[in-house]
A = this chain, B = another copy of it.
Amino acid sequence: MKKYLKEHEWSIIEEGFDPANHEISESVFSIGNGHMGQRANFEETYTGPTLQGSYMAGVYYPDKTRVGWWKNGYPEYFAKVLNSTNWIGLKVIIDDEELDLNQAKVSEFVRELNMKEGYLQRTFTAELQNGKIIKVQATRFVSIVDKEVGALKYEITPFNFSGTLSLTSYLDGDIKNEDANYDEKFWDPVNTWTRENRASVTVKTKKLDFYFCSTVETQIFTNNQKLEITSKSEEARKYAGLVYDVPLTKGESTTIYKYAANITNRDHDHQQLEAVSTDVLDHAVAKGFETLRQEQADAWASKWLNSDIIIKGDVAAQQGIRFNIFQLNQTYTGEDSRLNIGPKGFTGEKYGGSTYWDTEAYCLPFYLSTADQKIARNLLVYRYNHLEKAKENARKLGFEKGALYPMVTMNGEECHNEWEITFEEIHRNGAIAYAIYNYVNYTGDKSYLGEYGIEVLVEISRFWEERVNYVPHKDVYMILGVTGPNEYENNVNNNWYTNLISSWTMRYTIDVLNHLQETDQELYQQWIDKLQLKQAEVKQWEEIIAKMYYPKDEEKEIFLQQDNFLDKEIIPVDQLEDKHLPLNQNWSWDRILRSCFIKQADVLQGLYFLDHEFDIETIRRNFDFYEPITIHESSLSPCVHSILACRLGYKEKAYEMYLRTARLDLDNYNNDTEDGCHTTSMAGTWMSVVHGFGGLKVKENQLILSPFIPGQWQSFSFKVLFRGARLCIQVDQEKVTIINETDTPLDLVIYEKERHLDQNATISVQI
């Protein structure tokens, strides 16, 4: 861990160029717009260590599974987000010497990710080996307004010479995924062309027939005059470039604009891709770079209006939380229910860009509170659309009915192949049910239940019904052989969280059935018929709910993470010597498994999800027992602990936990940011602030707030959308101020007291 980024409220700033940090910066300074995204690679050639990465959302490849020892039930393919055509490429040759920051003497290097307006900028001075010095400023963004458009501006000023720039503006589709299992390239060529100032490359995946067409236009200006230079064309397999010879005059700037239209057959007929890309490009070029950039800034302003968090008195914290919000909004924008949120967003290839339970357990609340409810709804619809695949998955594992959602997926099929995860980490099914509850509870949109939700709930409940087993001599139902949220235990019996969430799912399913029956008998009957739901099934769920076994320790009055948990040697984390940390890099797997150390919230995950079902002292006893033995080696761990600590009034612990992820990638805390950012855990950090410090909950259609402010801050404020209202909650060391920024009045609960908030009104409460 090395801090090298400058603290700033609205920007991420790197000053000075150190190649050792470049791959980390490529992750951190990534840009995206939900439709596409890319790492902060240099436009010009760079021969130092780099991970070139440009990704189109939803364009994936089923790479052949690599496995040491095959287990029956493993998927044959692992779907991976595809590293796609590089559209930013510029080859910059100054009087026969190519600009390459790995070779040149670099000074005055500044890289900035402007989060307020949504662009990436880089300025530097480079002295080439031939002694020529140039100043460069490169600015680029992918538009959140015109989602298929990317644009860049690359300004070169010769400092100590006049000469010639040989510029190649190219598209390179001959791209390899870094995470390919067998060194295979996944793209085949379809077509390339160059024409006047345009170049186009269309490629097609070797499987699944994804087509991707990138068409770019290059414009060159000197002194604000567009140059009309004839270019030479360069074409190769999956490659098209235009070569320009541009005279450079000492002290005068030459500006290259490159506009890209990046189009896939996910959105258009594959035979129309080139035509569409030309149209999209025409529009973008017509707007021009500055207009596109202004629209981008305006659109980001709208996003910040709904989602900004302001922290006063702590620039590092301010920067950290904005970075998280910015990355979340770059990754998922929610218009397209076929998309979801990869653990690394568009910032790297690790985890294959696939969907995990992270979405339901950690990301959903962010989108619920900061965006139109249809955005969160689309995250649910995504799973609804995968229901048939989830049923197939259950069949594949031998279940006669019900649905088991995959642990890792791109298209609904399971992509993961570690038996202890793939087959056993079945609590994920519960999180998908819980997300439905969470959405309805927050938005009040019960229509979702009758439209989609009930089908998912019934099929998940059916899975649980078949997955439990009855133990006659104890007269209980158990769930054997699972991996809980704490992946540092595998194949355990009666993971308390899994037993809880499964039983809860069946109960919620029955509640929803009852609700439908009461409110819309016809719809209810339609579902009963469609699902062929028998009364005996519901009775069996009731029987299981009544007799579910929950391991607990009577003496300590705590729930046991699993059977026989207390047979382990219980050692607090703070007694571990540093040399052992992180455990997952220093201990063999068996040692981790038989230790007491918990990777991420497990019993506490259940107490967090269903906190309204447990009294505060129960939560406290379990927190006091489990938190000290929790090692937080998942970036998803600290947020849940931070929120629970807030509820328990453990302010120092809450702040400590918040800090563990607040700047995870900015400070490269886990030494792995070069692989990409921890995008899903960023939502956890947002939760730490809003649900933790803000104390936000929704209960019986009422928004509940009970904020506290860490002593280290002067004040903080956050925005939430709730039932048509947008509130700004400002907290300082003395008071809480809640501003209703909309015309929708609202009743809410502040510090356990009901309050009415008129339209556009403000109320203040002393802390």
Residues on A lying within 8 angstroms of B by beta carbon are 65-69, 71-73, 396-398, 417-420, 423-424, 469-471, 473-474, 478, 480-481, 490-493, 563-564, 566-569, 584-591, 593-594
Contacts and interface: CB of A to CB of B under 8 A. Distances in A.
Nearest to A398: B591
Contact of A564 (B66, B68, B423, B563): B563
Contacts of A584: 72
Contact of A590 (B65, B419, B470, B473): B419
Given A68-B417, A69-B418, A469-B568, 13 more contacts: A65-B68, A71-B588, A71-B589, A72-B587, A73-B589, A73-B590, A398-B587, A398-B591, A419-B589, A420-B491, A423-B588, A478-B567, A480-B594
A423 B480 contact: no
6 contacts: A68-B68, A69-B418, A72-B587, A397-B588, A471-B567, A478-B567
A418 B73 CA distance: 16
Contacts of A396: 588
A474 B493 CA distance: 20
Contacts of A594: 469, 480-481
Contacts of A471: 566-567
A478 B568 CA distance: 9
Contacts of A586: 72
B590 A397 contact: yes
B73 A423 contact: no
Given A73-B589, A588-B398, A567 B419 contact: no
Contact of A67 (B67, B478, B493): B67
A350 to B, nearest CB: 12
Nearest to A591: B398
B67 A473 contact: no
Counting from the closest, the 10 A-B pairs by CB-CB distance are A73-B588, A423-B590, A481-B594, A67-B68, A71-B589, A480-B594, A397-B588, A419-B589, A491-B491, A481-B593
Contacts of A585: 72
A615 to B, nearest CB: 26
A353 B69 CA distance: 16
Contacts of A69: 417-418
Contacts of A567: 469, 471, 474, 478, 480, 493, 563
A569 B493 CA distance: 13
A254 to B, nearest CB: 48
Nearest to A425: B590
A513 B594 CA distance: 31
User: Is the contact region of chain A dominated by helix, strand, or loop, or is it mixed?
Assistant: loop
A68 B71 CA distance: 12
Given A469-B568, A564-B493, A564-B564, A72 B398 contact: no
Contacts of A564: 493, 563-564
A589 B473 contact: no
A426 to B, nearest CB: 8
Nearest to A583: B72
A471 to B, nearest CB: 5
Nearest to A426: B590
Contacts of A480: 567-568, 594
- The residue in A71, A491, A568, A587 that gathers the most chain B C-beta atoms within 10 A of its C-beta is A491
A270 B66 CA distance: 38
Contacts of A424: 590
Contacts of A563: 563-564, 567
A196 to B, nearest CB: 47
Contacts of A470: 569
Contact of A68 (B418, B491, B492): B418
B589 A72 contact: yes
Contacts of A71: 588-589
Nearest to A417: B68
Contacts of A67: 66-68
Contact of A588 (B66, B68, B72): B72
Contacts of A593: 481, 491
Nearest to A569: B469
Nearest to A580: B398
A69 B422 CA distance: 12
Contacts of A566: 471, 473
A79 to B, nearest CB: 14
A66 to B, nearest CB: 5
A480 B590 CA distance: 9
Nearest to A584: B72
Contacts of A66: 66-68
Nearest to A68: B67
A71 to B, nearest CB: 4
Contacts of A590: 73, 397, 419, 423-424, 481
A480 B470 CA distance: 25
Contacts of A423: 588-590
A527 to B, nearest CB: 30
A354 to B, nearest CB: 14
Nearest to A399: B591
A567 B494 CA distance: 10
Contacts of A478: 567
Contacts of A73: 588-590
Contacts of A68: 65-68, 417-418
A667 to B, nearest CB: 24
A609 B564 CA distance: 29
A580 to B, nearest CB: 9
A500 to B, nearest CB: 18
B493 A491 contact: no
Nearest to A419: B589
A392 B66 CA distance: 29
A452 B557 CA distance: 53
A69 B424 CA distance: 16
A181 to B, nearest CB: 9
Nearest to A594: B481
